[in-house]
């Protein structure tokens, strides 16, 4: 049977426990999962560079032997194909995610009918977590312990302190 590699794309700014939950669960379904960090133009409010997001993700998945991290730019479906895969993994937190993911899956199907999108429901413990919420709570001094890996929490604190010093 051929290797079943799944690609889990996103900005991961920063990687959260919700992301790790989806990646870990996908790793039980597929032989290999690649957490693929998009290196396109930064989203508004982004805190970390592509290199920083990559390093944080590498450290976050270090204990998962069949999960790796890579970077990509351009269309996700093109990257998926270059990786010898035909599977995109996406996470669903709430009904609001479904509409966006539904449209995205149909666009990807239009662009690459040979690529399948597999959506995994985020576990209830992580359904409220998003990178943008994490950034906002951290910027306002809130406690994000348990919502991100400890090294990500520490990196957020350092990034925010450095930015505060430059304001």
DSSP per position, the chain: ----EEEEEE--TT--HHHHHHHHHHHHHSSEEEEEEE-SSPPTT--S-HHHHHHHHHHHTTT-TTEEEEEE-S-HHHHHHHTT--EEEEEE-SHHHHHHHHHHHHHHHHH-TT-EEEEEEPPGGGTT--HHHHHHHHHTT---BTTB-HHHHHHHHHHHHHHHHH-
**Cα three-residue angle 47-49-51, rounded to 5 degrees:** 140
Position 42 scores a pLDDT of 62
- What's the domain range around 109? 5-166
Q: Is residue 99 predicted with pLDDT exceeding 50?
A: yes
Burial of 40 (0-12, 13-18, 19+ CB in 10 A): exposed
pTM of the model: 0.92
37: region left, alpha or beta (phi > 0 left; psi from -120 to 50 alpha): beta
Number of domains in the chain: 1
Domain containing residue 19: CATH number? 3.40.50.620
Looking at per-residue pLDDT, the higher value among 167 and 102 belongs to 102
Given a cut of 50, whether residue 165 has pLDDT beyond it is yes
Q: Tell me the mean pLDDT in the region 71-91.
A: 96
The stretch 46-75 carries a mean pLDDT of: 96
> Which of 9-23, 40-54, 103-117 bottoms out in mean pLDDT, i.e. has the lowest?
40-54
């Amino acid at each position: 049977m051929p290797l079943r590699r799944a690609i889990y794309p996103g900005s991961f700014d920063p990687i959260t426990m919700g992301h790790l939950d989806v990646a870990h669960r996908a790793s039980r379904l597929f032989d290999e999962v690649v957490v693929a960090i998009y290196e396109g133009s930064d989203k508004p409010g982004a805190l970390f560079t592509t290199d920083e997001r990559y390093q944080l993700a590498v450290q976050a998945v270090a204990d998962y032997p069949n999960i790796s991290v890579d970077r990509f730019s351009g269309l996700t479906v093109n990257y998926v194909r270059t990786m010898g895969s035909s599977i995109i993994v996406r996470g669903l937190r709430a009904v609001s995610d479904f509409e966006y993911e539904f449209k995205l899956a149909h666009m990807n199907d239009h662009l690459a009918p040979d690529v399948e999108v597999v959506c995994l429901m985020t576990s209830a413990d992580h359904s409220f977590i998003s990178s943008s919420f994490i950034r906002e709570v951290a910027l306002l001094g809130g406690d994000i312990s348990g919502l991100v890996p400890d090294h990500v929490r520490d990196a957020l604190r350092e990034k925010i302190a450095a930015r505060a010093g430059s304001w």
